[in-house]
Amino acid sequence: MNRHFNIKNLIIGALIGAAMVGCQPQQPKFLHPRGNAQSKYIAEQTRIEYPDECVPSLDDVRNALSPLTLDNPDPKEEWLLTLDEVRQMALENSKVLRQLSGVNFGANGVSGTPTLLLASPNAAMTVWDPAIIESNPTAGVQAALSAFDAVWSSTASWQHADVARNYDNTYQATVGTHTDSGTFQTTLSKTVATGGNVYASTGFGYDESDASSRLWRSDWTSYVEAGFTQPLFRGSGVEFNRIAGPNGTMGNSNGVVIARINTDVALVDFEMGVRGTLQDIEETYWNLYYAYRNLNAAASGYEAALHQWRNVEAQSRLGRPQGDAQNLAQAEKNYQSFKVSAQEAQNNLYKTEQLLRYMIGIAPTDGRLIKPVDEPTVARVKYVWEEIVAEGLARAPELRKQKWIVKKRELELIAQRNYLKPQVDLEGLYRFHGLDHDLINSGRIGSKNLKHGAYGSMTSGDYQNWGLGITSSITLGFRREMAAVRNAELALARERAILQEQELELVHNLSDSYRDVERNYRLIEDYLGVLRAARKQYRAVEASFDLNKTTLYEVLRAQQELADAETRYYRTVIDYNLSIVNLNYRKGSLLEYNGVTLAEGPWPNKAYFDAWRRARERDAGKYVNYAFTSPQVISRGAYPQIQGTDPTVASSSAYTVPTPDVSQQNVLPTYEPNGSGGYQGVGIPEILQQ
């Protein structure tokens, strides 16, 4: 009694203690606390660690030299490159397509640095992207085709049971039923293009029991059967299964043609990435050319200002009027201004040259200074407006991508309308089965002659089953199905409207590009006249100053105007060439303009072997016309990357860069590089070391 009372008191005390503690979290108690566990835990969990991954750096990263600067202006040699050579090297080194996002070119120089790869690496375009989309294990073409792969499945199991029984109201542990059973089954099934499923299955089973009602204590059963299930309305037909796939659901189409369209969209995205890279390459190349010309003009002004300053100093020492204090101060100020301009021009040249190196994919500095060899065109390029619009509407990759999306939405609408049909499935099977004391062979039991085992009993044909039936279900109201159709219709209407607006925007962009080409050519002519007049003015004013007929201020102003006129002229020449590039960019012909075509790389030898074997299999097979539905046309065939050629035989190796229709009346001066690689006698960068 006391023991029970004590236990009761302990329980009541524990409940009261728990109530007093409440719901506050409690730390456990330890015999040997050390007091610093928390600090170690937090220190380990918040520590910034380095990943255990080592990707070797490029040689151009490890071996980059100190950048060229105004304090380090001496490259070991000049590297003369044509635009074609730059394109070729850049594309060979462009597994990741580089872009000059964040960089701005202008008359006053270049600003900004490329930051896309560091800031948004997932936005970068690579040569692997189309293949990644194609090989996606959940949404790629092969993933969609895998829904039609044959599946071989097998199961095998064994069970043993001793079940006790209760006889005569007495529990007898030793009296019961003893059973052993085992099964084996293997099935080969395949989903067909019409949406149905066919299968063939075989198996056998073993059953042993001490039940008194059995003829044999143990027996074997065997069977072989074939069957099919074919939807007649919802989910039926080749067209639906190509779009939605046999595993597609309402609002989620993942058939073969949808997967292929996704791959085509990825190819267009890659094409646009290559196009953008080519545009950046050409823009950087011509701006480097302009940087040299700008430095040339600044250096000429610098040398002239230095000469003028020294001349005024000489006049001052001789006590002549041209050398008074005012003229001397003006000459020195003019010299310092031109020196600053020359330094800025030289620094801008180094920065632009480094950007071209970035587009090529080489080190920012390797001891060589790239110098453009090609001269920008100053010949007039004439375009026919109607041809530009027609070519842009047919070739612009943005429109082609949107058309693929429109086609995808059209196919998805077809698939969604299929779900408005009732679910009606035709099912059938045919089976042979057998039963015997043994699985394969049996002799004679009593007066019964057996069929040489369960398999012999099955192959005798005495025991056959077949079945044929129809199962159906229909949703009353179709609210979800109608919502899916309406959603697909709205998505299609949206994409079609976007396509129309894209075409309108493209025409506006083509109009601006067309106008820029015409405008820049006119400006070339105008600034050429300004340049010639500025040269005449400078020579005349300088001669008048020598005869003490004008002031030094007029000479210095004429000198500055000459440098500005030369800079504006070459800026306009570069803008003219870039406007031609931009027009080809807009109308989708920039790759052809640069002689670039896209093609799949070579396969490994195993792929060629497998393709040849598959081609022989298809050639030896018999064509089956499912005749349920006729799938509509998805694609118009290969896109001709070179206009006027057969896309199946177009090859970059047999391609000649087309020349535009230009007038041969080139009234503008051209400046060829001299034998030493300089431009018109200017030594770069030695001009700032005087």
Predicted local distance difference test score (pLDDT) of residue 396: 94
Residue 663 scores a pLDDT above 80: no
Most confident of 108-112, 209-213, 243-247, 675-679: 243-247
Candidates 434, 433, 437; CA nearest to 215 is: 437
Mean per-residue pLDDT, 604-613? 80
- Asked if the structure places residue 206 within a domain, the reply is yes
CB-CB contact of 556 with 538 (8 Å): no
- Asked if the structure places residue 188 within a domain, the reply is yes
Q: Which tops the pLDDT comparison, 34 or 464?
A: 464
- Asked if the structure places residue 674 within a domain, the reply is no
- Asked if the structure places residue 195 within a domain, the reply is yes
Residue 658 scores a pLDDT above 60: no
Cis-peptide into 640, omega within 30 deg: no
Predicted local distance difference test score (pLDDT) of residue 179: 84
d(CA 88, CA 85): 5
CB-CB contact of 355 with 100 (8 Å): yes
In single-letter form, the type of residue at position 81 comes to: L
- Asked if the structure places residue 689 within a domain, the reply is no
Residue 546 scores a pLDDT above 60: yes
CB-CB contact of 382 with 661 (8 Å): yes
Owner of token pair 């058309």: 403
d(CA 253, CA 408): 10
- Asked if the structure places residue 469 within a domain, the reply is yes
> Which pLDDT band, with edges at 50, 70 and 90, does 310 fall under?
confident
Predicted local distance difference test score (pLDDT) of residue 311: 84
Predicted local distance difference test score (pLDDT) of residue 55: 83
- Asked if the structure places residue 434 within a domain, the reply is yes
> Which pLDDT band, with edges at 50, 70 and 90, does 25 fall under?
low
> Which residues does 460 contact at the CB level (< 8 Å), separation at least 6?
434, 451
Residue 639 scores a pLDDT above 80: no
Candidates 184, 185, 177; CA nearest to 217 is: 177
Candidates 382, 394, 415; CA nearest to 256 is: 415
Residue 319 scores a pLDDT above 60: yes
Q: Which has the minimum average pLDDT: 158-172, 519-533, 541-555?
A: 158-172
In single-letter form, the type of residue at position 396 comes to: A
Mean per-residue pLDDT, 673-681? 37
Candidates 563, 272, 572; CA nearest to 398 is: 272
Mean per-residue pLDDT, 217-245? 91
Predicted local distance difference test score (pLDDT) of residue 643: 74
Q: E strands of 192-326, at which residues?
A: 197-209, 218-231
> Which pLDDT band, with edges at 50, 70 and 90, does 333 fall under?
confident
Q: What is the DSSP string of 625-665?
A: ---S--PPP-------SSTTS-TTT--GGG-------B-S-
pTM of the model: 0.79
Please write the tens of the pLDDT for every residue from 32-58. Answer: 666 665 656 666 666 777 787 788 888
Residue 289 scores a pLDDT above 80: yes
Q: Which tops the pLDDT comparison, 424 or 317?
A: 424
- Asked if the structure places residue 593 within a domain, the reply is no
Q: Tokens representing 428?
A: 């059938």
Mean per-residue pLDDT, 249-266? 91
In single-letter form, the type of residue at position 288 comes to: L
Domain holding 214, by residue range, is 140-253+423-473
Q: How far is CA 29 from CA 18, 32, 34, in A?
A: 16, 9, 12
Mean per-residue pLDDT, 640-660? 50
Strands 77-81 vs 218-231: parallel, antiparallel or unpaired:
unpaired
Q: Which tops the pLDDT comparison, 425 or 1?
A: 425
Please write the tens of the pLDDT for every residue from 358-394. Answer: 999 999 999 899 999 999 999 999 999 999 999 999 9
Mean per-residue pLDDT, 601-617? 79
Mean per-residue pLDDT, 160-186? 70
Predicted local distance difference test score (pLDDT) of residue 684: 37
Predicted local distance difference test score (pLDDT) of residue 449: 53
Most confident of 171-185, 291-305, 524-538, 631-645: 524-538
Q: Tokens representing 556?
A: 């210095």
Number of structural domains found in the chain: 1
> Which residues does 505 contact at the CB level (< 8 Å), separation at least 6?
none
Residue 219 scores a pLDDT above 90: no
Q: Which has the minimum average pLDDT: 230-239, 548-557, 645-654?
A: 645-654
